[in-house]
Chains A and B, each alone.
Chain A
């Protein structure tokens, strides 16, 4: 039971009034002189107890009337299943991540979650507001709506092959509810509570908003998955070169499963090899040389209950090695990397005017740069050389200038468009890069260090791409030259960034894909095509497979997106972590039958004030009848003697008193 005006309950103290009157003012009953008491005694003895009982009954009735009136004023309601609830702003988080596609018995986990979401919506009223957040598709907007809108959103929800970030979903739900107009708020979390879906640390994402959590599917399930496929050790094979594809299976997580899984390798829709893999093992399959063009393939294992992670894709373009020219003092590490790649046949050294990629140390060679090639500009280690660099930049029409900046210590490279090859790279010293004019194209920051641009790309007046790095590539300035990423970085510059090819950097479903220059359309794995908008970024990549960037009908590039490895790990969140991972106001439901009763925790029944007032009125009538019942004729007319001689109405009220005999 609850009360909408609980302060009114304080008025319940008024029940003390009749109680006080009953206990301490009983003597105020009228006392009347009546000589014929013996006639009364003949009948009244047996009634004395009844009178006391009636007085107690009247007392109870009066107290009850008071309580009923107080209850009506406090707007009481009964809580409970089947009862209504106050208008509630509700965020339904459906975890439709890859793991929700697990077939449990006869149905997918997601289907069970959707049924629970329907149960929530069945309990909804017209005054409720709903937002449906799909944890596996965070790029989809969560629009407010009524129960019908919510039901539509739930029905449209299907399994995504992206990872589900429930921590982010809860934070998003909290932000939505914090600005909701309705005072009562609630989050319904429908998930398999995969441990990997929650952040390892941090504050409870839901804050103090009540969260009803479904944990009925929170149990460990065995899963066999392919968690990796690597082509050429991470470097895409070149035209006419034999290469190898390495396939990795996920280790058995506490299930003791050691059975080998048959794996097939399919390249350009032809099976190129097959093997068997025990859990946690790798197998390498040779792929014969291919001609120039896009090579698409995947490794495929026998399906199990979670099928989305049984196949991993790869795509690369078989091409001649890109032509690279290094000018000026790019640094020892750059020179060595280019030399290694050249010896491996990954790049070909050439003159600046014929290069696909010009690596310019301190602006050298900018005046010779090829009309079709891209250029990477590295600053000098000595800041006294910066004015010369800035002059060369200005001469080349690149509206940027380098300026000395204080050392700020070590910081990691970050950025929304950070290339995977730069992840984990730290920077100890960088110059400030300042725009000094209007660039021909909007600049794009690929990486930042300590809040300042570290890698900026744009296009010059002739349309050629350039990339400015804020640090020289030496050990004093950055960790990149002495890391394993250096070689891949230079290869990425030559093969991917310069536009001559696409590296095999692993991308997972859900990643944002930058559209290559010139692409007008992207074709999703399902076959649907979407025009590329001005952001030049493809979002909503919820399917695993090949994303083809097209120019008209021609394929410009292909990117393979694979299921996130974390989704293949089905370990549930431990019970002791639920509160810390979600929020302090958590209500965990394990049985479907209990779900309807647990949601809308501020549930209220119909307000009872009208029934309470009616009851109070009835009680008052009963009380009035009980207090005056039996008076018969209020005037005290003697019915049995009305016809008797001399009969007349008795006095209406007895105010008996002894009077003198002499009137």
Chain B
């Protein structure tokens, strides 16, 4: 823990760390907390930060801060200006849908590169912590061909610990059927809320789209994190190989040399198709590479959260 603190205090925020380095820091709760705190520390200087009626913490006054929020008591004690920061009061219910299919457990470089599932779980834990700190309720559903774990949406730090524990226990297995999990979620959610899907989207495209639109139809906000391994964007240097899908065991003889460029375009086309198909329906779509810092994903969430008010 002292190391991690050192990392944070040394000016290298955990949310900006490379996931490969981040995975070396410790357990999920610790990592998520470090990520979130680093992320929030960065947000303190952001004009997008909101205020709520519930006091949360103090911070040094900065030019432009509202004078109404200066803590005069602290000024009397320390002769320095501090601004009281309040947690925003909301009643948002967020559900984190985590894809734990076999493909999510894949890493292009298992020695150093964390798997997509690792990234998804830690991203979900970080989001959950942020949501809970903001006073929202967070629930979780994990699925592959079916929903395998579910946590009801609640608030409070105990809920986050529960979320972290349940996320920690998830392992990749089976195929992928996001449709069932999302529709099941839509049926179970009685109040409109935020649904965050974290998946590699190696799913049946039409069915998944239908399910997402179904959620929107029920008034839920939807944020999709498309987790992708860099090894899925770029084919390896092998000249020729037999590639097989770990979920379906389908096999394909590929001459990498011949299709490298076409494959790259195919991936970009697929991502663009997701973005193009989701946007008209108000579904936010964010591609997150497992070799990129989590702050990118968290910022995407923040943008979404700000729009929700």
Contacts and interface: CB of A to CB of B under 8 A. Distances in A.
A39 B266 contact: yes
Interface stretch (A164-172, A286-294, A535-543, A641-649): A641-649
Contact of A47 (B102, B110, B239, B258): B258
Contacts of A36: 103, 200, 202, 232, 267
A156 B141 CA distance: 114
Interface residues of A, number: 52
A641 B264 CA distance: 10
A632 B257 CA distance: 7
A47 B108 contact: no
A652 B236 contact: yes
A593 B306 CA distance: 101
Contacts of A636: 234-237
B4 interface: no
A658 B102 contact: yes
A47 B254 contact: yes
A661 B100 contact: yes
Contacts of B261: 630, 632
Contact of B106 (A35, A38, A630, A633): A35
Contacts of B168: 662
A631 interface: yes
Given A43-B266, A661-B118, A29 B245 contact: no
Contacts of A648: 230, 291
B244 A646 contact: no
Given A39-B232, A50-B258, A651-B108, A33 B237 contact: no
B236 A32 contact: yes
A54 B258 CA distance: 11
Contact of A33 (B106, B235, B266, B269): B106
B167 to A, nearest CB: 9
Contacts of B113: 651
B29 to A, nearest CB: 13
A107 B92 CA distance: 123
Contacts of A629: 257-258
Contacts of B262: 43
B245 A34 contact: yes
Given A51-B240, A51-B258, A636-B236, A656 B108 contact: yes
Contacts of B233: 638, 641, 650
A36 to B, nearest CB: 4
A660 B171 contact: yes
A267 B268 CA distance: 121
B118 A32 contact: no
Interface in A174-216: none
B109 to A, nearest CB: 4
Contact of B105 (A47, A54, A659): A659
A628 interface: yes
Interface in A369-390: none
A634 interface: yes
Contacts of A634: 237
Given A51-B258, A659-B110, A654 B172 contact: no
A35 B102 contact: yes
Residue of A44, A648, A660 with most chain B CB atoms under a 10 A cut-off: A44
A630 B107 contact: no
Contacts of A51: 240, 253-255, 258
A222 to B, nearest CB: 82
Interface in B164-203: 168, 170-172, 200, 202
Given A33-B246, A650-B233, A652-B236, A40 B264 contact: no
A663 B244 contact: no
Nearest to B171: A661
A496 B251 CA distance: 114
Nearest to B23: A663
Given A33-B244, A654-B231, A44 B259 contact: yes
A276 B230 CA distance: 119
A640 interface: yes
Interface string A47-66: 11011001000000000000
Interface in B257-290: 257-270, 289
Contacts of B251: 31
Nearest to A26: B253
Contact of A44 (B110, B246, B252, B292): B252
B260 A632 contact: yes
Bin chain B's interface residue count: 35 or more
A627 interface: yes
Contact of A654 (B236, B252, B265): B236
Nearest to B104: A661
Contacts of A646: 289, 291-293, 296
Contacts of B239: 627-628, 631
Interface in B91-126: 100, 102-110, 113-115, 117-118, 121
B156 to A, nearest CB: 25
B296 to A, nearest CB: 7
A43 B170 CA distance: 33
Central interface residue in A42, A635, A638, A663, by most chain B CB within 10 Å = A663
A630 B257 contact: yes
A25 to B, nearest CB: 13
A655 interface: yes
B56 interface: no
Given A44-B252, A661-B170, A34 B234 contact: no
B53 interface: no
B264 A631 contact: no
B244 A37 contact: yes
Given A33-B246, A631-B256, A640 B237 contact: no
A40 B234 contact: no
B263 A32 contact: no
B274 to A, nearest CB: 12
B260 A630 contact: yes
Interface in A4-44: 29-44
B1 interface: no
Interface string A605-635: 0000000000000000000000111111111
A657 B259 contact: no
A575 interface: no
Nearest to A635: B237
B243 interface: yes
A35 B238 contact: no
A653 interface: yes
Contacts of A658: 102, 105-106, 172, 246
Given A638-B233, A648-B291, A658-B172, A32 B110 contact: no
25 contacts: A29-B240, A31-B242, A32-B236, A33-B243, A34-B243, A44-B252, A44-B254, A47-B255, A627-B239, A630-B256, A630-B258, A632-B261, A635-B237, A636-B237, A646-B289, A651-B108, A654-B236, A654-B238, A657-B107, A659-B106, A659-B110, A661-B121, A661-B170, A662-B168, A662-B171
Interface of B: 23, 100, 102-110, 113-115, 117-118, 121, 168, 170-172, 200, 202, 230-248, 250-270, 289, 291-293, 296
Given A628-B239, A637-B234, 4 more contacts: A31-B243, A632-B261, A648-B230, A650-B236
4 closest residue pairs by CB, A with B? A630-B257, A646-B292, A654-B236, A35-B103
